[in-house]
Amino acid sequence: MAVDKRQHPRVEIAWSATIVTPDGLVSCKTENLSAEGTLIRCSALPDELHNFRLVFKPSERQLILATAERVWSKTVDTDHNTPYVMGVRFTFVPEHDYQQISAAISNGTYGQKTPISAAL
């Protein structure tokens, strides 16, 4: 079994999210979240996407904003309509939004948490 070398705890969480690019919007879902980044699954992945805005929607009435950078990405063989997985690192999160992310991690849940399999 591999040893987890992450510095920050992660929580499995299924939030809707949108990547904002100069060419348009890309819908995605989070699979897990930490104070420093997230794992997202997308239906499309722009080739030159490295730094971007990320808008999370943890509940019907709330948005969380972040600026992020792609750390890694890959295509996965799946039956879902979301064949791309990407690990991102936050480069900027406004303080209020960072507090919401921290609360979600501390509580192990937030807003519309659903099992990953049901969310995708």
Q: Looking at the domain assignment, is residue 40 inside a domain? A: yes
Q: Looking at the domain assignment, is residue 117 inside a domain? A: no
Alpha-carbon dihedral angle through residues 17, 102, 13, 36, given to the nearest 10 degrees: 70
Q: Looking at the domain assignment, is residue 113 inside a domain? A: no
Residue pLDDT, tens place only, 26-83: 999 999 999 999 999 988 887 778 899 999 999 888 999 999 999 999 888 766 676 8
Give the per-residue pLDDT at 8: 62
- Region 3-27: mean pLDDT is 80
Q: Is the pTM of this model over 0.85?
A: no
Q: Looking at the domain assignment, is residue 120 inside a domain? A: no
With a pLDDT cut of 90, the percent of the chain lying above it is 52
With a pLDDT cut of 70, the percent of the chain lying above it is 79
Q: Looking at the domain assignment, is residue 17 inside a domain? A: yes
Range of the structural domain that residue 82 is part of = 11-108
Q: What integer best gives the mean pLDDT of the chain? A: 82
Closest to 38 (Cα-Cα) out of 62, 19, 23: 19
Q: Looking at the domain assignment, is residue 5 inside a domain? A: no
Number of domains the chain contains: 1
Q: Is the pLDDT of residue 7 over 80?
A: no
Give the per-residue pLDDT at 115: 37
Q: Looking at the domain assignment, is residue 119 inside a domain? A: no
CATH number for position 70: 2.40.10.220
* Adjacent-strand bridge partners of 52: 68
